Amino acid sequence: MRAASVVSEAWRDLLTGTARAATLALVLVLGVGSLAVLDARAMVGVLRDAEEFRAAGAATWVLDDLDNVDGSRCAALDGVGGMRAGALRQGGPLRALAMPSSQLTVWEATPGLLGAALGRDVTTATGVWLSEDLASALGARPGSVLATTAGETPVAGVYAWPDDGRARTLGYSVVVPVAPTGRFSACWASTWPPDRDTAGLLYSTTGAKVGAQATFGQLNGRLGAELDAPALLEARLTRWAPAAATLLGLVVGWAGVRMRRLHVASALHARVPRPHLAWQHLLEAGAWVCAAVLVAAAATGWAAAAGNPEPPTTVWLTALRTVGAGAGAALLGTLAGVLGTRERHLFRYFKDR
């Protein structure tokens, strides 16, 4: 048989349905695609837990030591080992003209403070920062002007401070960015991944002596002290999905040929070379495998992107290993099925059909 004859025979089998391409593609999509989607969702679940951990302030550590924190030392920690750090102290009394009967809670913070607490950069705009609740009560928004008893000041930004278990320090407050000079009451630092040892550098901000009233702990301890996202990803149950997809692909490919064993044995009996038969069936399998891969890859892409707080590319590519393993195994299973079919079993295949 010439190459053109092999290709034309494969094409005819696909067109007439002899190759059972649609059925085999559907089985491969449902099996391998489901494994890939489950693996993607498992990874997204870990990333969402990690994002919740960070957003809740569980990765932020606070050293409270009244008027014993050196602002410049605390600010110097910002950027060390990937930390965001900043110092905080109580500000002077302030009243908004829109709420003259209520004294506002004012905090003075070095530029890295909101970076440590919220991942926000307080140096991008001039003015004060308001919690969402206070901004709503005052009718203020970023870019507006806050009229107070001390004069008018622009509102640089608004930050969320939900009641999710975190310390209520910055809730319903005004945060005023200040230079990191003088003494402060607290130093905050955010580390990712969470690292208590690195956060322990906060003790260096108090000099040689830590006050007796000093406390050190998480901004929000509701979610636990640690969340090792890389370890959770490594230990996920679906990490075995590529192995399972390989086994499934081998079975599907082998079964696709096994259902046509009489056809293969007859061709061998008619002196069709086995290599030509192998190429024919691999071409047929390649068609339904490619169709299954396209559908499974699209489904996996959706699973990797839905609800993912991070760019989905890494999750998608990782989950695609399952699709690739299943696809490659299906081709190997097809080849094994052709090589395992014997001409001498022709009459037994005929009787068993």
Highest mean pLDDT among 57-66, 221-230, 300-309: 300-309
| SS3 (DSSP) at 64 | strand
Highest mean pLDDT among 100-114, 193-207, 263-277: 100-114
Q: Which amino acid, 194?
A: P
Q: Which residue has the higher pLDDT, 22 or 249?
A: 249
Q: Is the pLDDT of residue 67 over 50?
A: yes
How much is the average pLDDT of 176-186?
Answer: 91
DSSP state of 270: T
Q: How many percent of the chain have pLDDT more than 70?
A: 82
Q: What is the mean pLDDT of the chain?
A: 84
How much is the average pLDDT of 57-81?
Answer: 88
Q: Is the pLDDT of residue 151 over 60?
A: yes
Question: Cα separation of 206 and 122, whole Å?
Answer: 24
Confidence bin at 124 (pLDDT 50/70/90): low
Q: Which residue has the higher pLDDT, 232 or 284?
A: 232
pTM value surpassing 0.85: no
Q: What are phi and psi of 153, to 5 degrees?
A: -140, 140
Q: Is the pLDDT of residue 347 over 50?
A: no
| SS3 (DSSP) at 213 | coil
pLDDT digits (tens, 9 = 90+) for 307-327: 999 999 999 999 999 999 999
Beta carbons within 8 Å of 347's beta carbon, 6+ residues apart? none
- Torsion over CA: 263, 269, 272, 278 (sign): positive
Domain boundaries, the chain: 3-52+231-352, 59-222
Highest mean pLDDT among 71-75, 170-174, 193-197, 319-323: 319-323
Give the pLDDT of residue 6: 61
- CB-based burial label for 247 (10 Å; 0-12, 13-18, 19+): middle
